[in-house]
């Protein structure tokens, strides 16, 4: 259980004080720090790990952005309003409209800025379209891995003169009698406690996927599912926010994933499903429309016997998979089983061969099937199979914020000097798992980090 607390301490004296303090050194905190450094604001990032990593380092590092230079160079026509429309379509119109607008209109500028100012070598993924995106807009560094993204951000922050305290676990926010943040207390690995004062605080410490207590409260449907995010997602921001009277929003939303290799514990790209692969349970039966999205698929997979399913696909799809580092990792771990024929596939899955034969035969129909999916072609031997479970990757609910990422109280007013972004704040997925559009996580982290930093700059310059 996390020990995040808030104390009122009118006589608070810090050993170090900075104008802008950021809790968390993932994509959100580091992007915010770069933007603040660019504006000439002295900034300190405090990170509990020995190096900035976070869930960002576990991710694929794909960031959706509209109207960027990279897209223009490839002749891709896109706009922030099209991105808003895709976000809202996936969220059934329930994404916070002001945040969807703010993030969609900011992310392209930030991607271009990181390229021009900090030398990020973005590529746009054009191999396939993620569910719900109308155009190719996933931006990634050439390594196609979140660890490369966080390392690039950390290096840029270092070059920009940002100070990052690592092995610094913030456990307490200090406020004055008016509820204004005065600073934080943090614990070092040897138990030593340090205090840092600040004029403005940005919470960039992600969500509550790693807290059983908070998952029981807000996402009971995934209580027993694998949590594949970073252990630092312990819900500190939520607990601090509640203690400060902040509003919480979209708390039942999260990014699930229906393709977490078992027992290897690694991500298997959903591109396999989008390109025509299917999921079957241990009886050899399909159970949902795999083309809808990986997030909602998590709930479907967890509802199957033993909370597991098999991703089944064939040679052309395997070839596409080999362009994704996560798939290559899964293969090197032994997760990918190759089956020369249907009989071998049924043996690997442990299901009756006639049932599996019928499942595959149903893909040949020209009509939509019972789940609403239509296939361009049936799968052909040799078959490939990976045993998977449904996992929760990160939570999409959090502190309610305005379009400047200022934290809101329950009555709608703003807390004096507290900002939250990335996984610490509510996202743009609405309240349901099915509302998660691919990339909403890093969209919120990178765009939200930049927005919070600009707002903090304005606030500090006005003091």
Ligand X SMILES: Cc1cc2nc3c(=O)[nH]c(=O)nc-3n(C[C@H](O)[C@H](O)[C@H](O)COP(=O)(O)OP(=O)(O)OC[C@H]3O[C@@H](n4cnc5c(N)ncnc54)[C@H](O)[C@@H]3O)c2cc1C
Residues in the site for ligand X, rule: CB under 6 A?
23-29, 46-49, 52-56, 58-62, 146, 169-170, 204-206, 228-230, 232, 236, 255, 267, 393-394, 422-423, 439, 441-443, 445
Task: Give the angle subtended at the CA of 177 by the CAs of 172 and 180, to the nearest 5°.
Answer: 60
In the bound complex, what is the minimum distance in angstroms from residue 33's beta carbon to ligand X? 11
183/423 with CB nearer ligand X: 423
Q: Which is nearer to ligand X, 52 or 390 (CB)?
A: 52
Tokens representing residue 166 in the block: 């690592």
Give the nearer residue to ligand X in terms of CB position, either 106 or 359: 106
Q: Copy the structure tokens of residue 264.
A: 């290897």
* C-alpha closest to that of 163 among 292, 296, 42: 42
Look up tokens 């945040």; give the residue. 99
Q: How far is the CB of 58 from ligand X (least distance, A)?
A: 4
In 3D, which of 232, 216, 219 has the Cα closest to residue 48?
A: 232
Is the Cβ–Cβ distance between 82 and 101 less than 8 Å? no
Q: CB–CB of 374/338 below 8 Å?
A: no
User: Which lies closer to ligand X via its Cβ, residue 58 or residue 280?
Assistant: 58
Report which residue's Cβ sits closest to ligand X. Answer: 26
The nearer residue to ligand X, 261 or 339, going by C-beta atoms, is 261
Nearer to ligand X, 157 or 443 (CB): 443
C-beta of 48 vs 432, nearer to ligand X = 48
Q: Which two tokens stand for residue 260?
A: 């977490």
Q: Which is closer to ligand X, CB of 46 or CB of 351?
A: 46
Task: Name the CA dihedral angle for 224, 384, 59, 265, rounded to a multiple of 10 degrees.
Answer: 40
Contact assessment for residue 450 and residue 404, using Cβ atoms and an 8 Å cutoff: no
CB of 370 to ligand X, least distance (A): 30
**Pairing, β 383-395 against β 337-339:** antiparallel
Q: How far is the CB of 292 from ligand X (least distance, A)?
A: 18
Among candidates 431, 280, 256, which has minimal Cα distance to 348? 280
Q: How far is CA 407 from the centre of its chain?
A: 20
Is the backbone of residue 83 left (phi > 0), alpha (psi -120 to 50) or beta? alpha
Q: What angle do CA 396, 59, 225 make, to 5 degrees?
A: 60
**Of the candidates 382, 372, 396, 299, which has an alpha carbon nearest to the alpha carbon of residue 348?**
382
Sign of torsion over alpha carbons 264, 269, 272, 273: positive
Q: Which CB atom, from 62 or from 327, has the smaller least distance to ligand X?
A: 62
Rounded to a whole number of angstroms, the minimum distance from the CB of residue 254 to ligand X is 10
CB of 367 to ligand X, least distance (A): 33
Q: Per DSSP, which regions of 77-205 are E strands?
A: 123-124, 138-140, 163-165, 169-175, 181-187, 193-203
Shortest approach of ligand X to residue 287 CB, angstroms?
Answer: 23
Rounded-to-integer distance, Cα 27 and Cα 202, Å: 13
Minimum Å gap between C-beta 436 and ligand X is: 9
Residue pair 27/449 in contact (Cβ under 8 Å)? The answer is yes
The least CB distance from residue 270 to ligand X, in Å, is 10
CB of 379 to ligand X, least distance (A): 26
The DSSP letter of residue 434 is G
Helix axes 440-461, 27-38, angle to 10 degrees: 30
Minimum CB distance to ligand X smaller for 349 or for 415: 415
- Cβ contacts of 415 within 8 Å, gap of 6 or more: 179, 181, 244, 245, 246, 406, 407, 408, 409
Cβ distance to ligand X smaller for residue 49 or 314: 49
Least distance (Å) between residue 242 CB and ligand X: 15
């Amino acid at each position: 259980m996390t020990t995040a607390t808030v104390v009122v301490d009118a006589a608070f004296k810090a050993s170090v004080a900075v104008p802008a303090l950021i809790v968390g050194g993932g994509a959100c905190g580091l992007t915010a720090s770069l933007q603040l450094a660019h504006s000439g604001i002295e900034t300190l990032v405090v990170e509990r790990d020995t190096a900035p990593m976070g869930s960002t380092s576990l991710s694929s590092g794909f960031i959706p952005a509209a109207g960027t230079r990279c897209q223009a160079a490839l002749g891709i026509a896109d706009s922030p309003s099209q991105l808003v429309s895709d976000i809202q379509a996936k969220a059934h119109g329930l994404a916070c409209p002001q945040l969807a607008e703010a993030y969609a209109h900011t992310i392209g500028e930030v991607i271009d800025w990181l390229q021009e100012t900090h030398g990020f070598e973005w590529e746009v993924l054009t191999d396939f379209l993620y569910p719900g995106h109308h155009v190719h807009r996933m931006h990634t560094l050439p390594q196609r891995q979140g660890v490369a993204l966080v390392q690039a951000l950390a290096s840029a922050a270092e070059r920009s003169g940002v100070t990052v305290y690592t092995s610094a676990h913030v456990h307490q926010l200090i406020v004055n009698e008016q509820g204004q943040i005065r600073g934080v207390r943090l614990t070092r690995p040897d138990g030593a406690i340090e205090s840092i004062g600040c004029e403005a605080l940005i919470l960039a410490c992600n969500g509550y996927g790693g807290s059983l207590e908070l998952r029981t409260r807000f996402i009971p449907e995934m209580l027993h599912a694998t949590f594949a995010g970073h252990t630092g997602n312990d819900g500190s921001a939520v607990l601090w926010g509640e203690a400060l009277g902040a509003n919480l929003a979209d708390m039942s939303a999260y990014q699930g994933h229906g393709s977490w290799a078992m027992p290897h514990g690694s991500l298997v790209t959903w591109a396999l499903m989008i390109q025509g692969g299917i999921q079957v349970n241990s009886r050899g039966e399909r159970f949902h429309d795999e083309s809808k999205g990986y997030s909602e698929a998590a709930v479907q997979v967890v509802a199957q016997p033993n909370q597991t399913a098999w991703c089944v696909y064939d040679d052309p799809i395997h070839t596409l998979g080999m362009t994704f580092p996560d798939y290559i990792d899964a293969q090197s771990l032994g997760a990918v089983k190759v089956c020369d024929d249907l009989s071998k596939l049924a043996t690997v899955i442990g299901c009756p061969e006639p049932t599996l034969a019928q499942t595959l035969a149903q893909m040949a129909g020209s009509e939509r099937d019972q789940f609403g999916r239509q296939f361009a072609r049936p799968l052909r031997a040799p078959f490939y199979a990976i045993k998977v479970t449904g996992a929760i990757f990160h939570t999409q609910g959090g502190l309610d914020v305005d379009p400047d990422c200022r934290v809101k109280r329950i009555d709608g007013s703003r807390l004096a000097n507290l900002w939250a972004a990335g996984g610490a704040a509510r996202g743009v997925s609405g309240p349901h798992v099915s509302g998660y559009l691919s990339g909403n996580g890093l969209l919120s982290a990178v765009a939200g980090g930049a927005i919070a930093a600009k707002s903090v700059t304005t606030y500090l310059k006005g003091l």
